Structure 1
Amino acid sequence: MTDTLSRPGAPGGDSAPTPGPAQAPDAAPTRPVILSAVLSAGACLLTGLLTCTAVAVIGWLAATFGSASGAVRAGASVWLIAHKSGVTLGGASISVAPLGLTLFFAWCLYRGGKSAARTSAADRTQELMTLIGTYAAAYGLGALIVALLTSEGTLHASPLSAFFGAASLALVAGTLGVLVESGAAHDLADATPSGLRDAVPAAAAAVLTVLAVASVLYGVLLAIHFSRATGMLELLGAGVIGSVVLFAICLMLVPNVILYVVAFLAGPGFQLGVGTTIAPTGVDVGNLPALPLLAAVPADGATPTYLLVLTALVPLGAGAVAGLIVVRRGRAEQHTDALGWDAFALRGGIAALVAGVAFFVLMALSGGAAGPGRMAEVGVPAALPAAGVLTAGMAIGAAITAAVAAARRPAEPEPEAER
């Protein structure tokens, strides 16, 4: 009788019944998994298209030729190119993705993946896989439709390339968003071996270090050749609205240029046209398009000596940063005393390898065709050797730094003897 009377919800009991899901007025209603994925993918697609179309229409208003429909198709073409879907205009192919715009779309897709996971409340493995697959497929199908609607006259976009390019970006960015929002990312991190788990943030630090140095170097070179940049602007005579559009184009291409500087620091360098070379060993580029971003490109001939020094110091410095992070994170683990200096050196090498793979992917994505004739080849043709050189330098710096820092860690104080 006592159990019956004191049980929650029983007559005369002391506590009220626990409200179920239907009794929670503040709980957000959930949608079916497929519906959440399709709605989130559609929102991301419309956001990207409207952004590109708005910039294209602004440029059309400043121009004295073309039509509004042509401006809309131009904006859609830029959206497709940002997903590495090549567009053919007449006999010229354009496939250089403006990575600044690509990163913006990736961020939107990441947020869209989080929104889809939150509104669907998916938590099981099968539900998460269904959500991610539907999300990527819906976004890819949207890109396929855009490619079909954009192709007209001399403008042609491959629907199949558009589908795979957009779906791939949605798959990567959307998966990250879904895993983070659902909590599965935390579970995966717990299940990952500690050595690999520490190597990932160390690799990210190494990548950011190299990118930061490349950005500073590019900024210095652009400041040195500032008069050349202003001369290009005067030559273009774009006006106020045209200058705004030109600034937006340059802003979207800044990540590409930074990666070209990274390839320059690695040694193999990059090219800005067929038969051109911009490397520490020398520059042979000739005339360049009147784009202010390219004003920082050195003149033809030998490069300054300090640039050759940077090619050795930058990877080693980035590796040292990765090695310090590996040791710092490793010391925070339990049973870290059982790890020797060689274990930390190995983790530093793994971090360098992960960073090298990231650089290879980024440099491979940064190039392509930028127009007819000479501009048919732009980017880093030797992306794999450049990534290999960076990986070797970072591995040396990370392994040595991690080994030295781990070997010099203070010894644990001995417990006092009992009196």
Structure 2
Amino acid sequence: MNRGPRSDDPTSGRPVGVRRTLEQDTTTRSDGPSSLGGPWVSGVLGAIQAVVFSLAVVVVPAIAMAVAANAQLSASTSGWTAAVPVASRLWLLGHGVPLVTGIATVTIVPLGITAAAVFAVFVSARRTIVPTRSAFWSAAATYTVGTLLVAVSTGSTSGLQLTSAALGGLAVALVGLCWGLLTGPEPGPLADRAAVLAARLPQVVRDGARGAATAAAVVALLSGLLTLLWVMIGWSTVGDVLSDLRLDAASSISLGIAQLALLPNLAVFAGTWIAGPGFAVGSGTHFGPDLVTSAPLPAIPLLGALPAPSAGGGVGVWAPVLVGVAGVVGGWVASRRTEHMLWWHTVVVAGLVGTGAGVAAGTMVALASGVAGPGRLADVGASPVYLGACVAAQVGAGALLVLLVTRAEVHAALASAWRSMRSRRREGAGGERAAAGDGSPDKAGADKAGADKAGADKAGADKAGACTAPADSSAAAETAGGTPAPSRAGAPSTSGTVSEPGSASKTTATSSVPKASGASTTATPSDDAQRASDDV
């Protein structure tokens, strides 16, 4: 059997050392931790790695700052071990566990620590965890248990703290695992299973979710850009606060790291400013596009980047239009992958895009807001419900606008509705004309009968005039010549002339109407003799 060139064959196309290294790496990646007992083992090991890594991000800088501070003190009152419980409580605060102090219970979540924990789970999922369901759930359970163990070890054992630790740890694990296992370059069976489940959802729901994620990402990008603009404008104020604190190098670094943990919170507050409702940093304050009401704030350099009172009003009142633009982008993304859609689906998709973006914005505001300290700092942030409703309305309006403009199904439905409306209008006008002309056929028939009767009368009159014309001419000849014209039998007229001596003769002509019996009047010889004697 020909097995090909040996690994030590000088004619082999690959060097011996490189070939052995590649084979060893491939074997290691294919076996991995799952060879110890199954894919679920990789989930357990990956979750432990994520807990340690994210906890070290907070604890190690705290230890370094404590050591540097103790080195500058002549009499050290506490060792570096005191920084570990404090940093662990801050790590728990990043998972939503309230931090109980002697003067206040801090509930505001430093989103920078939360982001570091999610990123740690993401990296562990990509490098260690096998993309299977058993590994996924074992990793989520292990990370949740690790969060509970840290809470118990730091004394955060109240019912609210333990519940918050369990829920917060599970939420961070699920987000990081989904991000790492479902978006990898080589998706495994878990990604295939998720794709099958997503395919079972209606197309409208998938389009709405895609558009909502896009709109939320656009709002987050706008919030980050606005935060950067605020920092650049207020950089001089930040520098003044730092100079007034007179911190040493170690304290400055420690304060800088703490502010990095709260920088995402400021970005979330910038999102509330863009959406319109604004936010508060202490009781009696309001930072919004229409009005800025400030008050004395703690000496924290990051707060120097907040908008000045002169920033309220003006062009800033048009900031919510940007959220509508985010809705336009989300609606376009939701529509461009769908070839056919019912016209009313556009309304559903726009509603889902707005609702998803509003829920995401409200959740982030709920995490970034809360109690930041005693006194006036008990009111920091904004109302998540009101902010979520505003974002949902603005994003939904933008998405609906672009869907109505770009979808041919909507155009066809509008054209059909317009044609139907015009057709109904024509039918209504025709009915009104028919109602106004009721009885007109009878009237027209009567008018026609009257016209026919008038024509018959006119014809009779013309005929009568033709019959009397010879009689008139005979009378004229008798008057002129003195001799009456003989009348024809059946003539309908008689004429007579009466003459008196010494006076002008008077001629009278009459026309006789035919008798009902149809007999005609004729002149007799005796009558002619009488007329002759009269003339003599």
Same fold? TM cut 0.5: yes
| Cα displacement (A) at 1:292 | 2.2
- Output the amino acid matched with 1:237: R
Q: Structure 1 CA distance, aligned partners of 2:256 and 2:145?
A: 31
Q: Structure 2 CA distance, aligned partners of 1:217 and 1:168?
A: 28
Matched, 1:150 2:154: yes
Q: Structure 1 CA distance, aligned partners of 2:150 and 2:63?
A: 17
The equivalent position to 2:92 in structure 1, one of 42, 59, 80, is 80
Looking at both structures, which has the greater relative contact order when contacts are Cα pairs under 8 Å and sequence separation is at least 6? 1
TM value normalised by structure 1? 0.79
Q: Structure 1 CA distance, aligned partners of 2:79 and 2:141?
A: 33
Q: Structure 2 CA distance, aligned partners of 1:49 and 1:266?
A: 34
Matched, 1:358 2:370: no
Q: Structure 2 CA distance, aligned partners of 1:256 and 1:32?
A: 41
Q: Structure 2 CA distance, aligned partners of 1:103 and 1:386?
A: 22
| Cα displacement (A) at 1:102 | 0.6
1:341 and 1:404 in contact (8 A); partners too: no
Q: Structure 2 CA distance, aligned partners of 1:295 and 1:408?
A: 52
The equivalent position to 1:323 in structure 2, one of 331, 356, 372, is 331
The within-5 A match list for 1:134-145 is 134-145=138-149
| Cα displacement (A) at 1:45 | 0.7
Moved more, 71-80 or 90-99: 90-99
| Cα displacement (A) at 1:201 | 2.8
Matched residue of 1:28: which SS? helix
The CA deviation string for residues 40-95 of structure 1, in whole angstroms up to 9 with x for no partner, is 21111110111111111122134346421111112111111110111112232222
User: Residues 33 and 91 from structure 1, CA distance in 2 versus in 1: closer, same or farther, beyond 3 angstroms?
Assistant: farther
Q: CA RMSD in A?
A: 2.9
User: Residues 156 and 203 from structure 1, CA distance in 2 versus in 1: closer, same or farther, beyond 3 angstroms?
Assistant: closer
The CA deviation string for residues 292-325 of structure 1, in whole angstroms up to 9 with x for no partner, is 22112233477131111112x1121111111221
Counterpart for residue 169 of structure 1: 172
Moved more, 344-353 or 262-271: 344-353
Q: Structure 2 CA distance, aligned partners of 1:409 and 1:160?
A: 49
The equivalent position to 1:373 in structure 2, one of 372, 375, 380, is 375
2:89 and 2:154 in contact (8 A); partners too: yes
- Output the amino acid matched with 1:140: T
The CA deviation string for residues 333-381 of structure 1, in whole angstroms up to 9 with x for no partner, is xxx2x4255434532332121111111111111112222222223222x
Q: Structure 2 CA distance, aligned partners of 1:240 and 1:286?
A: 29
2:404 and 2:410 in contact (8 A); partners too: no
Counterpart for residue 6 of structure 1: none
Structure 2: gaps spanning 5 or more residues: 1-25, 413-536
2:148 and 2:162 in contact (8 A); partners too: yes
Moved more, 61-70 or 34-43: 61-70
Counterpart for residue 407 of structure 1: 408
Matched, 1:42 2:48: yes
Counterpart for residue 18 of structure 1: none
Q: Structure 2 CA distance, aligned partners of 1:322 and 1:309?
A: 20
Counterpart for residue 385 of structure 2: 384
Structure 1: gaps spanning 5 or more residues: 1-23, 123-127, 331-335, 412-419
Matched residue of 2:105: which SS? strand
Query: How high is the sequence identity, in percent, across the aligned residues?
Result: 28
The within-5 A match list for 1:105-120 is 105-114=117-126, 117-118=129-130
How many residues are paired up? 370
- Output the amino acid matched with 1:191: R
The equivalent position to 1:68 in structure 2, one of 62, 80, 83, is 80
| Cα displacement (A) at 1:291 | 2.0
| Cα displacement (A) at 1:196 | 2.1
The within-5 A match list for 1:276-295 is 276-295=285-304
- Output the amino acid matched with 1:55: P
Q: Structure 2 CA distance, aligned partners of 1:282 and 1:138?
A: 48
Counterpart for residue 32 of structure 1: 38
User: Residues 238 and 58 from structure 1, CA distance in 2 versus in 1: closer, same or farther, beyond 3 angstroms?
Assistant: farther
User: Residues 325 and 147 from structure 1, CA distance in 2 versus in 1: closer, same or farther, beyond 3 angstroms?
Assistant: same
Counterpart for residue 272 of structure 1: 281
Which structure has the bigger radius of gyration? 2
1:36 and 1:116 in contact (8 A); partners too: yes
| Cα displacement (A) at 1:404 | 0.6
Moved more, 63-72 or 360-369: 63-72
| Cα displacement (A) at 1:157 | 9.6
